[in-house]
């Protein structure tokens, strides 16, 4: 279930109180009219002064609700100290420590650059706004790849934002933009295709040479992606060194 913000919870409570008070005030108004029918009329000045002093509680609550929504932030904003790994990742590690780069983004430098070339001209990254300038495309791609390559709480918006030194909303928007760009027809049609018969045969020969003949036609994989396993295989397990 989606959590409500503090403002939403306060709004719901105030609206409920307003509804209750409106009903009570309506009954009170009827009683006052009945009492007034059998009583002498009060001077006009006294009645006006009494109305000013006795503002209905529902109106006071409504003013409070307006005040609640007049503020963009309910609490004082505080600067959250964050890491600065993103700039180090794209500037220093990419060229000087490619193994660190790959451990974070789970792709090689060549793959990263190829993906960047494929999506950097996509309109989703160019909103032509002076007030809402986006991150550089390579930074947005790095955010998305970091989340794609990890799992669990480590890819939560909060953890990624704190780790990479970004706003939480920036993490969400960057990921969505990269996904949108990768899903364009021109990208996936050029990048995703079924292998030819010749390519299939070459792949089968490689598997047979590097594993065992029984796996020649493939097992639990289609595109050649290696699947990490947590334990040694029951059959031909001695042919592999990593699980």
pLDDT in tens, 179-201: 999 999 988 887 777 788 999 89
Within-domain flag for 78: no
* 91 lies in the same domain as 170: yes
- CB count within 10 Å of CB 61 equals 20
Predicted local confidence at residue 123, as pLDDT: 93
Q: pLDDT confidence of 221, banded at 50, 70, 90?
A: low
Share of the chain above pLDDT 90, in %: 41
- In the predicted model, is pLDDT for residue 52 greater than 70? no
Residue at which a domain ends, from 70, 95, 120: 70
Within-domain flag for 1: no
Predicted local confidence at residue 115, as pLDDT: 94
Q: pLDDT confidence of 203, banded at 50, 70, 90?
A: confident
Q: pLDDT confidence of 161, banded at 50, 70, 90?
A: very high
Report the range of poorest mean pLDDT among 9-13, 38-42, 92-96, 97-101: 38-42
- In the predicted model, is pLDDT for residue 130 greater than 80? no
Count: domains in the chain: 3
Within-domain flag for 57: yes
Within-domain flag for 178: yes
Select from 150, 164, 144 the least CA-distant residue to 89: 164
DSSP string for 87-155: HHIIIIIHHH-HHHHHHHHSS-HHHHHHHHHHHTT-GGG----SSSPPPPHHHHHHHHHHHHT--GGGG
* 94 lies in the same domain as 181: yes
Q: Tell which wins on pLDDT, 38 or 207.
A: 207
Predicted local confidence at residue 160, as pLDDT: 93
Half-sphere exposure of 208 (CA within 13 A, CB side): 10
* 202 lies in the same domain as 159: no
* 62 lies in the same domain as 153: no
* 171 lies in the same domain as 201: no
Within-domain flag for 187: yes
Within-domain flag for 76: no
* 111 lies in the same domain as 168: yes
Extract the tokens encoding 178. 């990269």
* 226 lies in the same domain as 143: no
Task: Report the C-alpha gap between 144 and 166 in whole angstroms.
Answer: 13
* 28 lies in the same domain as 113: no
Q: pLDDT confidence of 42, banded at 50, 70, 90?
A: low
pLDDT in tens, 67-100: 888 877 777 777 777 778 899 999 999 999 999 9
* 164 lies in the same domain as 230: no
Print the domain residue range for 61: 6-70
What is the pLDDT averaged over residues 122-142? Answer: 88
Within-domain flag for 16: yes
Within-domain flag for 80: no
Extract the tokens encoding 171. 């993490």
Predicted local confidence at residue 46, as pLDDT: 54
């Amino acid at each position: 279930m989606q959590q409500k913000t503090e403002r939403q919870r306060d709004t719901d409570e105030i609206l409920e109180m307003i509804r209750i008070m409106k009903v009570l005030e309506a009954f009170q108004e009827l009683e006052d009219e009945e009492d007034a029918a059998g009583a002498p009329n009060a001077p006009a000045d006294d009645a006006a002064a009494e109305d000013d002093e006795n503002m209905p509680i529902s109106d006071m609550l409504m003013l409070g609700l307006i005040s609640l929504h007049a503020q963009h932030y309910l609490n004082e904003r505080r600067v959250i100290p964050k890491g600065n790994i993103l700039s180090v990742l794209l500037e220093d590690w990419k060229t000087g420590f490619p193994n660190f780069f790959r451990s974070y983004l789970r792709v090689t430098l060549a793959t990263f650059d190829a993906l960047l070339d494929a999506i950097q001209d996509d309109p989703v990254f160019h909103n032509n706004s002076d007030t809402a300038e986006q991150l550089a495309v390579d930074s947005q791609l790095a955010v998305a790849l970091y989340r794609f390559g990890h799992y669990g709480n480590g890819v939560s918006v909060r953890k990624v934002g704190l780790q990479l030194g970004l706003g939480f909303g920036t993490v969400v928007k960057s990921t969505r933009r990269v996904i949108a760009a990768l899903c364009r027809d021109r990208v996936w049609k050029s990048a995703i295709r079924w292998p030819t018969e010749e390519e299939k045969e070459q792949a089968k020969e490689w598997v047979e040479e590097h594993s065992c003949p029984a796996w020649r036609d493939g097992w639990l994989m289609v595109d050649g992606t290696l699947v990490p396993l947590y334990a040694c295989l029951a059959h031909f397990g001695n042919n592999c060194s990593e699980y």
